[in-house]
């Protein structure tokens, strides 16, 4: 899947890589890195005896939101029941921060890939300038 790929690679995968735009490539790499980071923190939380799901390789936005909510509820529960256990709460907080960072990657990607609304462009400007320039 990298620069030096095996020549026996599936043709469909080659086509996907060739047609993938730069924003898609960058986002995919960021998601992979953020998923790995979040899963590392979730494993630390689970080491404390909790059962928070790990992310799959390419999580959906709904999965990211669901795990963020699970971590929020866990943090609230720990804060209420064990307010002096700062180490365990810190692990949950770090895991939630990693999940929030993953969510931000999705939000930024959505903001740069949204199609432009044709109604927003003023078609009455035929000179090529800005229609409402000062």
As a whole number, the mean pLDDT across the chain is 78
Residue 93 lies inside a defined structural domain of this protein: yes
Smallest CA-to-CA distance from 39 within 17, 63, 16 is with: 63
Residue 13 lies inside a defined structural domain of this protein: no
Q: How confident is the model at residue 41 (pLDDT cuts 50, 70, 90)?
A: very high
Q: Give pLDDT, residue 107.
A: 83
Residue 125 lies inside a defined structural domain of this protein: no
Which range marks the domain in which residue 95 is found?
A: 20-110
Residue 127 lies inside a defined structural domain of this protein: no
Mean pLDDT score, 33-38: 95
Our count of domains for the chain comes to 1
Its pTM stands at 0.67
Between 81 and 113, the more confident residue is: 81
Residue 128 lies inside a defined structural domain of this protein: no
Residue 120 lies inside a defined structural domain of this protein: no
For every residue of 83-121, DSSP letters joined together read: TT-HHHHHHHHHHHHHHHHHHHHHHHHHHHHSPPPGGGS
Residue 28 lies inside a defined structural domain of this protein: yes
Model confidence over 65-109: pLDDT tens digits?
Answer: 999 999 999 999 999 998 888 999 999 999 999 999 999 988 877
Measured CA distances, 27 to 53, 58, 113 (Å): 23, 11, 11
Between 58 and 99, the more confident residue is: 99
Residue 117 lies inside a defined structural domain of this protein: no
């Amino acid at each position: 899947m990298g620069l030096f790929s095996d020549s026996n690679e599936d043709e469909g995968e080659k086509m996907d890589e060739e047609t993938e735009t730069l924003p898609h490539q960058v986002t995919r790499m960021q998601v992979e890195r953020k998923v790995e980071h979040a899963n590392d923190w979730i494993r630390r939380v689970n080491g404390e005896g909790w059962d928070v799901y790990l992310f799959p390789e390419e999580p959906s936005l709904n999965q990211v939101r669901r795990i963020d909510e699970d971590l929020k509820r866990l943090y609230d529960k720990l804060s209420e029941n064990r307010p002096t256990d700062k180490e365990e709460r810190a692990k949950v907080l770090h895991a939630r921060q990693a999940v929030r960072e993953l969510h931000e990657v999705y939000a930024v990607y959505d903001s740069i890939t949204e199609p432009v609304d044709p109604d927003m462009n003023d078609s009455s400007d035929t000179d090529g300038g800005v229609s409402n320039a000062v």
